[in-house]
Amino acid sequence: MSTPSTPPSQPASLPRSNVALIGSPNSGKSLLFNRLTGLNQKVANFPGITVDISAGKSLIDNSTEYLDFPGVYSLHTISGEEKLAVEAFYKAMDADHLDAVICVVDATRLEKGLIFALQVVEACRRYNKPLLIAANMTDVLEQHKMQLDTQGLADALKVPVLPISGKTGFGLENIPSAIASAKAPTEAYGIAGDIIASDDSLIHRQAQQLANKYGPKGDLLINAQTKLDSFFLHSWFGGLSFFVIMYLLFQSIFTWAAPVMDGVETIIQVTADFVLARVPEGMASDFIADALFGGIGAFLVFVPQIFVLTLVVGMLEDSGYLARAAVICHKPLRVFGLTGKSFIPMLSSVACAIPGIYAARTVDSPRKRWLTYLAIPLMPCSARLPVYTLLIAAFIPAQKALGGLIGWQGLAMFGIYVFGIVCALLVTAVVSRSNAELRSDLPFVLEMPPYRLPSWRPLLRNAWNRSKHFVTKAGKIIFIVTVVIWFLGYFPNQGASLGDSWLGTMGQWIEPVFAPFGLDWKYGVAILTSFLAREVFVGTLGTLFGIEGAEENFVSLSQQIQDSGLPIGSGVALLVFFAIALQCVSTLAVLAKETGSWRLPTQLFISYSIFAYVAAFLTFHLVEFLV
């Protein structure tokens, strides 16, 4: 947590009550927070997802502000991230920033939640803060006809206990009034004394007794979970299902998204032809054709892929399977210096490195987390997808291989994905063996979340938001870059000759850098602009080919590249270059924020740039030699 965002002191004219949501990891705080505030914090069925405190105004009455805290197992914890959360919690209590506390307890794992709740009762008693215990996930209990005696529990603890479900929304309307009437606990529960600092086994015993007395009876849920575990972690079926799931993930991006992508491309094409037919020839029509449709249109085609990828990764996150995948991958990843927990950030990075870097907080061992950071920028993120798709469409024939079983293009895409992952693992393997830097290590201990059927609505909403974010955020950069590129490429000779334009003159200086792998200056310029964000490559190239080409109609960029006669070695070299180079300003900035300094991002940027250049150079010569 870089800045525990406890709100600053409130102006006196605005009496606003701050309510903290705390609880053990994966108890459903963030989903509840989203429901109460209408915000969109990340929710996933894996412990330790929330890493920063976020604040949001209540939808019901906006004088209440809720604070979503990262989950912690104990209030006297000592492990890194959790310690920061606990400190922030105490600080907020101490500075009187909190007016009430809601302790969220997973009713299906009551004992675990109560261990923490007992500590919270004691903390609230000391700080004189009103406390409400929210027994969450009651929808699951109901589904299995299980009972929770909230009244009995409330009487025993002398703290109100409210049954709720963050999923169905059950009981949420009672929260404001329950908070308003909640009081600070006055009695210590059970054996008086220092419960927070006392021996764990004492709290455990008390929590156990309470759970046995008032909680749902029976082993139904845990037995169901174990049954599924014995399939998903089975020697044969476990490995097999892992590969099937990863294959489906990969397939979904390409097969499900393909028709939509074609649709978007057609729409752009039709719109372009329609608009251009109505604009008089001249500079305006050139600008519309080259910069707007050529540059920005080329990148909009990839939005459906981002949508599908986010959706599928979200499904996996919600199902509880990721924790099993972490168990399966632990031993193999250890060979490369990583841990099973690195699997989740690495998988998220297939969508985008930024959530991947945040997800790396779930890797509790500082050393392993640091190594995971090295791997993340090499994972094939979706910003590379437009570049890969473009280059593969331009260079790889659309024929079937292996007796029609799979297309060459699909195989090439698979190959470049595997290439990125292999690079990532090789880097961590080498660095973990050669770097004896003393970073503390932690063993692998992971709570297994329950299996759940993913709930569609939040997943779709999340995928939609991410696509929107992609369009607005990346779209803005791409728009500016393409306009600048178009301007420099169009003048001073009104697009008559790209080579003699201002950009062409500048390009001549860049050309020698990329000439060793057979690329002319247009690609050089596109690569340089892509250091802002990878997708910009496609936009820039689209604009440049647009100015250069004299086509009347819209011709796809891959077709134009194909027609330009670029050698295949250069195409493959470009693929390799993009697989390795760290061309993403946001990744660097987030890494700096997460590691607390610019040291690691700077090192990674320089070394991955050199690595990418050398690998592309070797690839070019190898391919040209072979072909």
Partner 1 sequence: MTLWDLTQGTSATVSAFAASIEAGYRTRLSELGFHPGESISCVMAPSLGAPKLYRVNNTVYSLDDSIASMIEVA
Ligand X SMILES: Nc1nc2c(ncn2[C@@H]2O[C@H](COP(=O)(O)OP(=O)(O)OP(=O)(O)O)[C@@H](O)[C@H]2O)c(=O)[nH]1
* Stretch near ligand X under the rule CB under 6 A, chosen from 117-125, 159-167, 259-267, 478-486: 159-167
Residue 149 site contact among Mg ion, ligand X, partner 1, none (CB < 5 to 8 Å, cut-off depends on kind):
none
Instruction: Pick the binder of partner 1 from 123, 211, 526, 538 (CB under 8 A).
Output: 211
* Stretch near Mg ion under the rule CB under 5 A, chosen from 47-55, 101-109, 249-257, 460-468: 47-55
Taking the C-alpha atoms of residue 110 and residue 216, their distance in angstroms, rounded to an integer, is 8
Using CB under 8 A as the binding rule, whether residue 452 contacts partner 1 is answered as no
Using CB under 6 A as the binding rule, whether residue 166 contacts ligand X is answered as yes
Using CB under 8 A as the binding rule, whether residue 328 contacts partner 1 is answered as yes
| Cα distances (angstroms) measured from residue 410 to each of 192, 350, 406 | 66, 17, 7
599 Cα distance to chain centroid: 23
**How big is the site for ligand X, counted in residues (CB under 6 A)?**
26
Instruction: Pick the binder of ligand X from 112, 125, 129, 167 (CB under 6 A).
Output: 167
Q: Residues 368, 341: contact at Cβ < 8 Å?
A: yes
Using CB under 8 A as the binding rule, whether residue 617 contacts partner 1 is answered as no
Q: Quick check: helix, strand or coil at residue 22?
A: strand
Using CB under 6 A as the binding rule, whether residue 150 contacts ligand X is answered as no
Taking the C-alpha atoms of residue 75 and residue 89, their distance in angstroms, rounded to an integer, is 9
Instruction: Pick the binder of partner 1 from 226, 255, 266, 564 (CB under 8 A).
Output: 226
Using CB under 8 A as the binding rule, whether residue 230 contacts partner 1 is answered as yes
Taking the C-alpha atoms of residue 169 and residue 151, their distance in angstroms, rounded to an integer, is 20
158/330 with CB nearer partner 1:
330
What SS3 string covers 355-404? HHHHHHHHCCCHHHHHHHHHHHHHCCCCCHHHHHHHHHHHHCCCCEECCC
Taking the C-alpha atoms of residue 575 and residue 569, their distance in angstroms, rounded to an integer, is 10
Sequence-distant (≥ 6) Cβ neighbours of residue 413 within 8 angstroms? 254, 388, 389, 392
Tell me: cis bond preceding 601? Omega within 30 of 0 counts.
Answer: no
Q: Per DSSP, what are the bridge partners of residue 104?
A: 23, 134
Using CB under 5 A as the binding rule, whether residue 30 contacts Mg ion is answered as yes
Instruction: Pick the binder of ligand X from 58, 165, 342, 570 (CB under 6 A).
Output: 165
Using CB under 8 A as the binding rule, whether residue 77 contacts partner 1 is answered as yes
* Stretch near ligand X under the rule CB under 6 A, chosen from 88-96, 122-130, 134-142, 147-155: 134-142
Burial class (CB in 10 A: 0-12, 13-18, 19+), 111: middle
- Map residues 68-107 to x or -, x wherever contact with ligand X holds by CB under 6 A: --xx------------------------------------
Q: Residues 542, 556: contact at Cβ < 8 Å?
A: no
Residue 165 site contact among partner 1, ligand X, Mg ion, none (CB < 5 to 8 Å, cut-off depends on kind):
ligand X
Residue 44 site contact among ligand X, Mg ion, partner 1, none (CB < 5 to 8 Å, cut-off depends on kind):
ligand X
Q: How far apart are CB 155 and ligand X at their closest, in Å? A: 24
| Cα distances (angstroms) measured from residue 165 to each of 137, 183, 310, 589 | 5, 23, 25, 37
Taking the C-alpha atoms of residue 62 and residue 274, their distance in angstroms, rounded to an integer, is 48
Q: Residues 524, 507: contact at Cβ < 8 Å?
A: yes
* Stretch near Mg ion under the rule CB under 5 A, chosen from 24-32, 126-134, 353-361, 496-504: 24-32
What DSSP assignment string belongs to 106-153? EGGGHHHHHHHHHHHHHHHHHHT--EEEEEE-HHHHHHTT----HHHH
What DSSP assignment string belongs to 177-230? HHHHH-----S--SS-S-TTTS-HHHHHHHHHHHHHHHS--SSHHHHHHHHHHH
Q: How far apart are CB 82 and ligand X at their closest, in Å? A: 10
* Stretch near partner 1 under the rule CB under 8 A, chosen from 139-147, 323-331, 500-508, 598-606: 323-331
Q: Indicate the residue whose CB is closest to ligand X.
A: 71
Dihedrals phi, psi of 134, to nearest 5 degrees: -100, 115
Binding positions for ligand X, 318-357, rule CB under 6 A = 318
* Stretch near ligand X under the rule CB under 6 A, chosen from 27-35, 432-440, 513-521, 585-593: 27-35
Q: Residues 313, 270: contact at Cβ < 8 Å?
A: no
For residue 627, the tally of other CB atoms under 10 A from its CB is 9
Q: How far apart are CB 132 and partner 1 at their closest, in Å? A: 23
* Stretch near partner 1 under the rule CB under 8 A, chosen from 387-395, 446-454, 481-489, 600-608: 446-454
* Stretch near ligand X under the rule CB under 6 A, chosen from 132-140, 209-217, 482-490, 524-532: 132-140
* Stretch near ligand X under the rule CB under 6 A, chosen from 22-30, 122-130, 532-540, 608-616: 22-30
Binding positions for ligand X, 428-467, rule CB under 6 A = 452
What SS3 string covers 297-337? HHHHCCHHHHHHHHHHHHHHHHHCHHHHHHHHHHHHHHHCC
Using CB under 8 A as the binding rule, whether residue 139 contacts partner 1 is answered as no
Residue 607 site contact among partner 1, Mg ion, ligand X, none (CB < 5 to 8 Å, cut-off depends on kind):
none
Binding positions for ligand X, 32-61, rule CB under 6 A = 43-45, 47-50
Instruction: Pick the binder of ligand X from 139, 273, 447, 624 (CB under 6 A).
Output: 139
136/543 with CB nearer Mg ion:
136
User: Residues interacting with Mg ion, by CB under 5 A?
Assistant: 29-30, 50
User: Residues interacting with ligand X, by CB under 6 A?
Assistant: 23, 25-31, 43-45, 47-50, 70-71, 136-137, 139-140, 165-167, 318, 452
User: Residues interacting with partner 1, by CB under 8 A?
Assistant: 73-74, 77-79, 108-112, 115, 200-201, 204, 208, 211, 219, 221-222, 225-226, 229-230, 233-235, 238, 323, 327-328, 330-331, 340, 442-448
